[in-house]
Amino acid sequence: MIPTDEARQRIVSALSPVSTEVVSLAQACGRVLAEDALARITQPPHDVSAMDGYAVRQADVRTLPATLTQVGEARAGGRYGQPLRPGECVRIFTGGPVPADADTIVIQEHVRAAQEPTGGPRITVPRITVLQAPPPGTHIRRAGQDFRAGEVGLGAGRALSARDVGLAAAMNLPWLRVRRRPRVAIVSTGDELELPGDPLGPNQILASNGLALAAYVGAWGGEPVHLGILRDQPEEFARLAGELAHADLLVTSGGASVGDYDLVRSALGEQGLQVDFWQIAMRPGKPLLFGRLGATPVLGLPGNPVSALVCALLFLRPALERLLGMPGAGQVPTVAALLGRDLPANDAREDFLRATLARDAAGRWLATPFPVQDSAMLSTLARADCLVQRAPQAPAAKAGEAVKVIVL
């Protein structure tokens, strides 16, 4: 049995990133950037106002109140084309370009505006009286304050969020080069399995692993290809070996343990499976297998549903991150919490306990493991908020002690 960290490192280092493709921004959310995305423009392209008000020269508003003549307007999408001269101001709106030689934005709440008559009978000149003025530069968004043309806005290997899509759009990038979705072939093994909705014999159970694994693969940026259920017969595995040409990874569930009907190692072995490792020091999920069948990496997950899905979190997700070229693939993030109940000493296997996560009266996070941790119980996995991670040989722990948890 090898430790979980070593198993993960061996999986990650046996894989390399898949090829790339270009997608339009509308399809980019959730995809992983294959190269740095550089801004094609400077934002803002020039100094603009952050408020509705008046662009003025600081020299004109040192003594208040100050009366200025409004000579024009600058709004988002339109500018005042002349430099501002002494005694002048320009009506400005949010996003409007700041005129040359204006250095101060006075918000309109600090101005009294009046149309004052001048010389001729029908000619009026708008004048304003500035009552309060901020220091120069206030309420001005400087050119390039957000980003400059040529700057790296989003780094290679980043899984794109909705916020990133917004930034890419602002950087004038209508399409992006991303990793193609890794194709993950999924098979379930077992004579006892039937798909939900199919007729169910008296000794049969429902195959839940394949569907849950496919959902995970999709959520983690891959393309699941469900190859169905293999019966526990070597011929079925022989056929599988011929169906993997386009898979970046084969994931099996079940048949990986030591029982007479656990055929993954033996039957795929006959097809040329090279085993890198088999069996890891963890619970749930001891019979994990990793190897290669021809060119296709193979991750053999245990059959027990909780074991299969916990191993997917700990090993399949990092494998996908590596195939997607994400930096830091192989790290499983944990956070600190306080134990919500006493736990007995642990044995030689690292433990991953399903637990709820809730705040106590003092606002601290309490992780409370479910009392029964059977690896066939999907109900507690579905209800769990986190997995409490316990090192091999961890001594007995009391409620209130600090623990590491993996948030689900």
Q: What residue ranges bind Mg ion (CB under 5 A)?
A: 190, 254-255, 303
Distances (CA, A) of 406 to 314, 315, 388: 10, 13, 7
Question: Which residues between 309 and 348 bind ligand AMP (CB under 6 A)?
Answer: none
Q: Could you say whether residue 228 binds ligand AMP (CB under 6 A)?
A: no
C-beta of residue 350 within 8 angstroms of C-beta of residue 3: yes
Q: Which residue number, 33 or 381, has a Cβ lying nearer to ligand AMP?
A: 381
**Cα(349)–Cα(280) distance, rounded to whole angstroms?**
8
Q: How far is the CB of 279 from ligand AMP (least distance, A)?
A: 13
Q: How far is the CB of 166 from ligand AMP (least distance, A)?
A: 40
Q: How far is the CB of 194 from Mg ion (least distance, A)?
A: 13
Q: Which residue number, 302 or 325, has a Cβ lying nearer to ligand AMP?
A: 302
Q: How far is the CB of 145 from ligand AMP (least distance, A)?
A: 54
Q: Could you say whether residue 214 binds ligand AMP (CB under 6 A)?
A: no
Q: Which amino acid is at 42?
A: T
Q: How far is the CB of 384 from ligand AMP (least distance, A)?
A: 18
Q: Which residues contact 293 (CB under 8 A, 6 or more apart)?
A: 241, 244, 250, 268, 271, 272, 273, 274
Q: Could you say whether residue 157 binds ligand AMP (CB under 6 A)?
A: no
Q: Which residue number, 147 or 278, has a Cβ lying nearer to ligand AMP?
A: 278
Q: Which residue number, 304 or 380, has a Cβ lying nearer to ligand AMP?
A: 304
SS3 label, residue 164: helix
The residue written with tokens 């004052």 in the block is 116
Q: Which of 97, 153, 182, 254 binds ligand AMP (CB under 6 A)?
A: 254
**Cα(245)–Cα(317) distance, rounded to whole angstroms?**
22
Q: How far is the CB of 225 from ligand AMP (least distance, A)?
A: 16
Q: Which residue number, 221 or 254, has a Cβ lying nearer to Mg ion?
A: 254
**In sequence order, which ranges of 201-242 are alpha helices (DSSP H)?**
209-219, 234-241
**Cα(47)–Cα(101) distance, rounded to whole angstroms?**
11
Q: Could you say whether residue 69 binds ligand AMP (CB under 6 A)?
A: no
How many CB atoms sit inside 10 A of residue 163's CB?
Answer: 9
Q: Which residue number, 209 or 346, has a Cβ lying nearer to Mg ion?
A: 209
How many residues at the interface with ligand AMP, by CB under 6 A? 20
Dmax (CA) for the chain in angstroms is 107
Binning the chain into helix, strand and coil, the percentages to the nearest 5 are: 20, 35, 45
What does DSSP assign to residue 27? G
Angle, alpha carbons 160-165-171 (nearest 5°) = 120
Q: How far is the CB of 227 from ligand AMP (least distance, A)?
A: 13
Q: Could you say whether residue 305 binds ligand AMP (CB under 6 A)?
A: yes
Q: How far is the CB of 189 from Mg ion (least distance, A)?
A: 6
Q: Which of 4, 104, 304, 346 binds ligand AMP (CB under 6 A)?
A: 304
Start-to-end Cα distance in the chain: 26
Q: Which of 210, 222, 285, 297 binds ligand AMP (CB under 6 A)?
A: 210
**In sequence order, which ranges of 271-371 are alpha helices (DSSP H)?**
305-311, 317-323
Q: Could you say whether residue 205 binds ligand AMP (CB under 6 A)?
A: yes
Q: Which residues contact 405 (CB under 8 A, 6 or more apart)?
A: 334, 335, 336, 337, 355, 357, 367, 386, 387, 388, 389
> Which residue sits closest to ligand AMP, CB atoms considered?
303
Q: Could you say whether residue 302 binds ligand AMP (CB under 6 A)?
A: yes
The stretch near ligand AMP (CB under 6 A) out of 47-55, 118-126, 204-212, 396-404 is 204-212
Query: Structure tokens of 179?
Result: 């990793």
**Cα(194)–Cα(196) distance, rounded to whole angstroms?**
7
Q: Could you say whether residue 259 binds ligand AMP (CB under 6 A)?
A: yes
Q: Which of 4, 43, 104, 209 binds ligand AMP (CB under 6 A)?
A: 209
Q: Which of 68, 98, 207, 282 binds ligand AMP (CB under 6 A)?
A: 207
Q: Could you say whether residue 44 binds ligand AMP (CB under 6 A)?
A: no
Paired residues of 280 in beta bridges:
2
Residues within the interface to ligand AMP (CB under 6 A): 188, 190, 192-193, 205, 207-210, 253-257, 259, 262, 302-305
